[in-house]
Amino acid sequence: MELFNPTEEHSHLRKSVRQFVQSEVEPQAARFDKEERFNLELFKRLGELGLLGITVPESFGGSGMDATAVVIAHEELSASDPGFCLAYLAHTLLCANNIAVNGSQEQKQRWLPKLCSGEWVGAMGMSEPQAGTDVLAMTTSSSKSKDGYSISGRKMWITNGAIDENRTPCDCLLFYAKSDQHKSDSKHISTFVVERGAKGFSVGQKIEGKLGMRASNTAEMCFDNCLLPIENRLGDEGDSLIHMMRNLEIERLGLAAMSLGIARRSLDIMINYSKERQAFGKKLAQFGQIQAHIADSYAEYQAARCYVYNTARELNLTKPGSRLDSDGVKLIASPMAKRIADRAIQTLGGYGYVAEYVVERLWRDSKLLEIGGGTIEAHQKNITRDLTSSHS
């Protein structure tokens, strides 16, 4: 079996995404990063390609593909514009895939076609100002009445939370909240979906001045006695810890795939520059220090790539149980991407430090992958706990 393109469908997907990246994503990447803007129009084009619902069943407007397809799409997009790819991940994996797995038939029909087509931009709200890695410390609350739920609280660091410079909220935010009626149970968490225009739902602040991933918008989302009907709750009340954990598996795999794209592009730039640039009468590729940068980077990239694609091959999108390796691939791949981008900058010297050669942007973008979707420290904790509790 060919690990990276196991079927003809996967090969076609990689080819079509790569062509789209070369013709439409790459020409705009530097400008939108510099301007710290989300390219909404280009994002909608992903819907035309069938990418915005890549894991969503075809009956709801998606492409019905698997975790390997997810990895292919994220690797190819992030090789050009990781910030744009992060917006894609938040919409496709955190929102649309979550609804596809956990929503009722009516909810899927209500929300998924618009998310898959690109008519709507989706996001997911889990982190809060005082609750990031410690997700069970969230304080956003839901109070139930006969008419539905009243939601109060704040969500922070929400990719796609605002879709423009005017702080326009996303069309559809899937988020988690604790029940007022079960305050003593930190795991009594429910999943809700709120649509733009709901009373009491707004963007608090659009986060500016980010180190990287500037082509995706990040925002604080506010709930001030936001009223939602019961039909906007996904699954049973208080039963959403499993939603969160299951969706974190595909999110972390997607983020690891983004690391592969960053590493591959950085390696390509490093190799090409070392073949052309001369110093002391020799090409850079003839110097041992540069050879170490290139050889180590290639080996690390290929090792991480095999781990990521093998984990994708085994991951079931509808069932939990892959946390050990979804944590593992992100733990390995995210620092690897940053190291290779750093080596590329070192190889290019002053040219690597400026925007023209791309690697400075890839280096800045790579850092978020060690933090978002779970820090590398959290992965170390999870992996150790899982191994010591189950190892024989």
Rounded CA Rg of the chain: 21
Cα separation, 73 vs 9, whole angstroms? 12
Evaluate the CA torsion angle 245, 247, 253, 254 in order and state its sign: negative
| Catalytic-residue membership of 251 | yes
Q: What is the DSSP string of 220-288?
A: EEEEEEEEE-GGGEESSTT--HHHHHHHHHHHHHHHHHHHHHHHHHHHHHHHHHHHH-EETTEEGGGSH
Cα separation, 124 vs 315, whole angstroms? 21
Evaluate the CA torsion angle 158, 212, 257, 388 in order and state its sign: negative
Considering 75, 251, 300, 360, which one is annotated as catalytic?
Answer: 251
Cα separation, 130 vs 162, whole angstroms? 20
Q: Give whole-number Cα distances, 105 to 100, 115, 123, 228, in Å.
A: 9, 15, 20, 19
141-145 and 172-179 as β-strands: parallel, antiparallel, unpaired? parallel
> Tokens representing 313?
């091959």
Task: Check: CB of residue 242 under 8 Å from CB of residue 249.
Answer: no
Residues taking part in catalysis: 251
